Each structure stands twice: as structure tokens, then as C-alpha cells.
Amino acid sequence: MKTILGKKIGMTQIFTETGVVVPVTVIQAGPETVTQVKTVETDGYNAVQVGFEDQKPQRVNKPMTGHFEKAGVSPKKYLVEFKPEDGEAYEVGQVITVADFQEGMKLDITGTSKGKGTQGNIKRHGHHRGPMTHGSKHKRLAGALAAGTYPSRVFKGNAGPGRTGRDTVTVQNVVLVKVIEDRNLMLVKGAVPGKKQGLLRIQCAVKGQ
């Protein structure tokens, strides 16, 4: 299953031939280089390791420097693995680009959602607020969390205030609207997780594509 890494550039809109406006997210995807091919015989499982975005050599530790030198590729900032489909063959040093993806195909895109810090239970979980009159002191505070006599405690996992965002989120079946090969750009329909310049993992949603 082809996988490529990219960075979110931002959102814009394009028009179809019939004049319909389509909101799209612009992603700078690849090029990425195959740094290792893992097999059951050598590593216990089948996988393809790819590297994305060049990194300064002085920022790479000695074990990873040796790993990249063995593969014959320049140091990379990001490394990920994906499981190849039956019949797919990859070689160390092979370059994967947006040209390997066709317009109209469906993608699963994974990213890290925007962090919002510590938030109350209303913004975090969509709870209703309390009454605004008659001397209420619980306008936006959480109400009772447990019964009085039984069980006389708060159950674990009860929804409350806390850290919000910065989670790994995957949107599925996103349509690839346009590919601009000379600029390594993908235009996908709708929004994707994360902030601008956030790292995205893009893979085919349908096997065999």
C-alpha cells in the first residue's frame, strides 16, 4: 500500500470544468527515499522504511548516520514504515514521488490535530452550561459527577476539563483532486488534520491502487 509523507501548506479552492467550486488542502508531498527494506528472514516482518526531508549531518547521531550511509542516502529528518502489498517490490534508494498517485484516487491521511491547551468541559466535550439566572453559580462549571449514597465516588473516565487537541487523527477516503508533479504538490478535497507545516502521512485507502 503506497505511502508518502508530506507537509500541509494550507487551504484554497479550485473550480471544476463545470464551474463548481471545490475546497482543497494543498500538501507538499515527497519526494521520499527508501532507506531500508525489511523482510521476515532478517527482521521478523515485512516492511518498507522511507525517509522524508533532508537533515543536516551534524544533527544526526552516530547510529543513524551509519544507517543512512549503509543505505547510501543522505540523512533524513523523518522515518516511517509501511507494509507493502503482495507483489510490490521496493529497493533501497528508490524515490517515491507524487507521480505514483493518480487523480481521483481515495486516500487516508493521518496528522496531529491542533493543540488547544487546557480547556473546560463545555469546549472539550460539548457539555451544556448551567442556568444563567436565579442565583446559579454553575454557569460553565461541571455539575454533579456522582450519586450521593451509591456509588459515592466518581467513575474512571468521566468527561471533564483537561488537555485538548494534539491527538493523532486520521481522515479516511479523501479524494485526490489534482497532482502537480513539477512542484511535488497534492490537492485533496476538504480539510486534513493539523496546522500549517504539520507532518502528514498519506496512503492509499483502497488496496491495489
pLDDT in tens, 81-129: 999 887 678 899 999 999 989 999 999 999 999 999 999 999 999 999 8
> In 89-132, where do the E strands start and end?
95-96, 106-112, 117-119
Give the tens place of pLDDT for each residue, 33-46: 999 999 999 999 99
| Averaged pLDDT, 132-154 | 83
Report the Cα 145 to chain-centroid distance in Å. 34
Determine the length of the chain: 209
Backbone angles phi, psi at 74, to 5 degrees: -70, 155
* Cell output for 92: 533501497
For residue 207, pLDDT beyond 80: no
Q: How confident is the model at residue 170 (pLDDT cuts 50, 70, 90)?
A: very high
| Averaged pLDDT, 146-150 | 79
The per-residue pLDDT for 31 is 92
**Using CA atoms, how far apart are residues 54 and 43, in angstroms rounded to an integer?**
26
**Using CA atoms, how far apart are residues 48 and 58, in angstroms rounded to an integer?**
26
Which residue type, as a one-letter code, is found at position 88? E
